[in-house]
Amino acid sequence: MSDVMRSAEGLAYRHVAGAGPLIVFLPGYMSDMTGGKATALFDWAQARGRAALLLDYSGCGASAGDFLAGSISRWTGDVLRLIEMVAPGGQVVLVGSSMGGWVALRAGVRLGARLAGLVGVAAAPDFVDWGLDVSPAEAAALTAQGFFSRASGYGGDYLYSRAFLEDAPGCRMLAGPIGISAPVRLLHGQRDEVVPWRLSLEIAELVTAEDVQVTLIKDGDHRLSREADIARLTELVAGLC
């Protein structure tokens, strides 16, 4: 994409100025801003004259840095720095997919009154706790080389580093109330093979906002990238803008 820019820290991003709050898409684990939902949302916003931001976390996609040094804390910091760079002091709608939902919740708390709304797409906060049982062989690899790999199910392997795993406990969101007062919309497929759809109900209970809605798609998978799924996503984002 010819419109990709880079921040002083080497973070790759796409930004379009426009009306309303800045719509920010946050990708999942080892994903980037070239994904189907990200580009569809950006194109939708651009066509309607709305402000939008796509980004690659440090060490991911086209951004500089070492992926194995990445963590939820570091990637949340990346997001907040880029938001402040392109929309200083402005209102923001965060859209987080899978692990991006974890980052969105943390960034949303940090943004406080600047958060105009949050959308989680199969949001996966705290997935290290409930979705990443480390086997003895993986633990041995972690000790020997600082990371282990595991098949992603989407082609290729996921890498899990010591830095990521050691940072995760301090980033938990499900241990108590989530201090977000802006409207929250949670979209989840009931055929999600990666993130249990009931997790969205748990998030809805923990968020302190009163305006919280959960949309379940009975035949939806983890990706929710079909045309109808993306139409639901843009409808939710439009409602928050």
- 56, 78, 126, 192: which one is catalytic? 192
Choice among 31, 58, 71, 98 that is catalytic: 98
pTM of the shown model: 0.96
Task: Please give the share of the chain, as a percent, with pLDDT higher than 90.
Answer: 96
pLDDT of residue 1: 62
Number of domain units in the chain? 1
- pLDDT tens-digit profile of 192-234? 999 999 999 999 999 999 999 999 999 999 999 999 999 999 9
> pLDDT at residue 155 above 80?
no
Band (pLDDT 50/70/90 cuts) for residue 83 is very high
Residue 143 has pLDDT above 80, yes or no: yes
Q: What confidence score (pLDDT) does residue 173 get?
A: 98
- Per-residue pLDDT at 13 exceeds 80: yes
Sign of the alpha-carbon torsion through 224, 107, 63, 142: negative
Q: How far apart are CA 132 and CA 175, in angstroms?
A: 17
**Residue 222 falls in the annotated catalytic set:** yes
| pLDDT, tens only, 22-76 | 999 999 999 999 999 999 999 999 999 999 999 999 999 999 999 999 999 999 9
State both tokens at 63. 């951004």
Q: For tokens 């929710």, what's the residue? A: 224
The beta strands (E) that lie in the chain are given as 5-6, 12-16, 19-26, 50-55, 92-97, 115-121, 147-151, 157-161, 184-189, 212-217
The residues, any chain, with a CB within 8 Å of residue 130's CB and separated by 6 or more, are 196, 199
pLDDT at 154: 73
* Segment 112-119 mean pLDDT: 98
User: Which tokens hold the place of 187?
Assistant: 């979209």
Q: d(Cα 16, Cα 55) in Å, to the nearest integer?
A: 12
Residue 153's pLDDT is 72
- The residue annotated as part of the active site, out of 15, 56, 78, 222, is 222
Three-state SS sequence of 18-86: CEEEEEEEECCCCCCCCCHHHHHHHHHHHHCCEEEEEECCCCCCCCCCCHHHCCHHHHHHHHHHHHHHH
Q: What is the CATH number of the domain that holds 109?
A: 3.40.50.1820
Taking residues 160-177, what's their average pLDDT?
Answer: 97
The encoded tokens of residue 175 equal 């241990």
Would residue 188 show up in a list of annotated catalytic residues for this protein? no
Nearest-angstrom CA–CA distance, 226 and 128: 27
Greater pLDDT, 207 or 155: 207
Question: Which run of H or E residues covers position 106?
Answer: helix 99-111
Known active-site residue 192: yes
pLDDT at 39: 97
Q: Average per-residue pLDDT in the chain? A: 96
Range of the domain at 197: 5-240
